[in-house]
């Protein structure tokens, strides 16, 4: 039918940690969300801008799965360019303050000072793109405020650094908790339909069925 819209997704790999940044959009209206703006270098910022312009997308949301520096280098540029606030969980706010410290640890400098959270995301929040929704699920353990974004109609979840193909996120960073992470993945992601595609913060995509069956951390 004519009113049937499709949620589209584009993965862009950015920066020295290679992070998966995602652009998710509704085909019909062009309404889009940028999730984990990892663009560090000017060339990467150009790539992001060019994609938005060429596909005539209207950026409605800048969402962060969590606030570790590698997923957030591009927030100042993205917020400024598309006039959208950064949306992230309050529980991760402390990570913004120590972002320069995180950068020093890796011997790099931030492209710009971090921007504050403009709107807090909590479990159950819904982000509408056309007629389709992205639903926020709180999956703590990699960071206290880690969020994943689930598109029920299109059958995918953007998992940030909670779940990867055959692996899970680190739990040894400030505010991390291994038991909490495994439990939250089991409760929130493994209960999604088994054909749900999982788009992680690093590495290739997978699906819920595969991770239930083969992920050593999920056994």
pLDDT number for residue 219: 81
* Secondary structure of residue 69 in the 3-state scheme: helix
Average pLDDT for 101-128: 96
Q: How would residue 2 be classed by pLDDT, with cut points 50, 70 and 90?
A: very low
Q: Say whether pLDDT at 208 is over 50.
A: yes
37 vs 32: CA distance, rounded Å: 13
**Long-range contacts: 10-13, Cβ < 8 Å, 24+?**
10/51, 11/199, 11/205, 12/39, 12/44, 12/47, 12/48, 12/51
Q: Say whether pLDDT at 3 is over 60.
A: no
Asked whether the whole model's pTM tops 0.95, one would answer yes
150 vs 133: CA distance, rounded Å: 8
Q: What per-residue string of b and e applies to 79-106 under the rule 16 or more CB within 10 Å gives b?
A: bebbebebbbbebbeebbeebeebbeee
% of the chain beyond a pLDDT of 70 = 98
pLDDT number for residue 112: 95
Better-scored residue on pLDDT, 91 or 3: 91
76 vs 62: CA distance, rounded Å: 10
Strands (E) in the chain, as ranges, are 7-14, 19-26, 31-35, 58-63, 86-88, 119-120, 126-129, 132-138, 147-151, 156-160, 163-164, 167-168, 197-200, 206-207
Tokens matching residue 122: 């909590």
Residues 7-25 pLDDT 10s: 999 999 999 999 999 999 9
Residues 60-75 pLDDT 10s: 999 999 999 999 999 9
Q: Say whether pLDDT at 206 is over 80.
A: yes
Q: What does pLDDT average to over the chain?
A: 96
Average pLDDT for 94-118: 95
Average pLDDT for 53-61: 98
Residues 157-201 pLDDT 10s: 999 999 999 999 999 999 999 999 999 999 999 999 999 999 999
């Amino acid at each position: 039918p004519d009113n049937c819209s499709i949620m589209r997704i584009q993965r862009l790999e950015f920066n020295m940690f290679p992070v998966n940044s995602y652009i998710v959009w509704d085909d019909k209206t062009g309404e889009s969300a940028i999730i984990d703006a990892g663009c560090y270098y000017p060339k990467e910022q150009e790539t992001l801008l060019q994609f938005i312009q060429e596909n005539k997308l209207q950026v409605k949301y800048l969402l962060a799965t969590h606030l570790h520096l590698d997923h957030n280098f591009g927030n100042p540029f993205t917020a400024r360019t598309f006039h959208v606030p950064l949306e992230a969980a309050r529980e991760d706010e402390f990570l913004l303050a120590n972002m320069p410290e995180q950068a020093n640890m890796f011997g790099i400098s931030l492209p710009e000072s971090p921007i504050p959270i403009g709107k807090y995301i909590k479990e159950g929040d819904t982000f509408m793109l056309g007629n389709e929704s992205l639903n926020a699920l709180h999956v703590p353990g990699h960071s206290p405020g880690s969020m994943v974004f689930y598109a029920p109609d299109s059958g995918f979840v953007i998992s940030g650094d909670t779940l990867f193909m055959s692996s899970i996120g680190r739990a040894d960073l400030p505010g991390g908790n291994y038991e909490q992470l495994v439990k939250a993945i089991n409760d929130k992601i493994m209960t999604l339909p088994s054909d749900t595609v999982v788009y992680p913060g690093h590495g290739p995509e997978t699906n819920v069925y595969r991770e239930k069956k083969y992920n050593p951390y999920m056994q």
